[in-house]
Amino acid sequence: MPILNYTTKVPATKTVGEIQEVLAKAGASKIMIDYIDREPVAVSFLAIMQNGTELSFRLPCDWEGVLAALGRDKVERKFLTPEHAKMVAWRTVKQWVEAQLAFIEAEQATMAQVFLPYAVTSTGETMYDRLINDSKRLLT
């Protein structure tokens, strides 16, 4: 069975704008888009936690992983392009963000709890990257 959103026709830039809108409605501030070669690669934003602390988050979009998954799923050839993989990847990021925000709205978790792997540390790496690269330092 092919991955979620594999038939989308929504341009990546439109989806990125929708993600910005959803995050803003949830209270995020200073929402930025990171670009490489004029292509969006991540959404970064600030959010105020329950204790008043402001945290920075960075949500990456790995379209290359999506392209590999589409190839494994043996989808039609028209879906096996980098451009299409970017559209699918961003749609999936958007749906994931919406699901996390619904969880927060239902008071099942806080923003820090659901977005913690994507929190940006003082060194510029995400908490996930820090855990993977130096788990002893993080967990002690």
pLDDT tens string 32-78:
999 999 999 999 999 988 788 899 999 999 999 999 999 999 999 99
- Reply yes or no on whether the pLDDT at 24 is more than 80: yes
| Cross-strand pairs, 119 | 57
Q: Which of 111, 138, 136, 140 is nearest to 127 (CA)?
A: 138
Percent helix, strand, coil in the chain (nearest 5)? 50, 20, 30
59 in Cβ contact with 47 (< 8 Å):
no
* Residue 51: predicted pLDDT: 86
- The rounded radius of gyration (Å) of the Cα atoms in the chain is 16
* Residue 49: predicted pLDDT: 81
- Reply yes or no on whether the pLDDT at 27 is more than 60: yes
The percent of residues in the chain predicted with pLDDT above 90, rounded, is: 84
- Reply yes or no on whether the pLDDT at 140 is more than 70: no
pLDDT digits (tens, 9 = 90+) for 77-99: 999 999 999 999 999 999 999 99
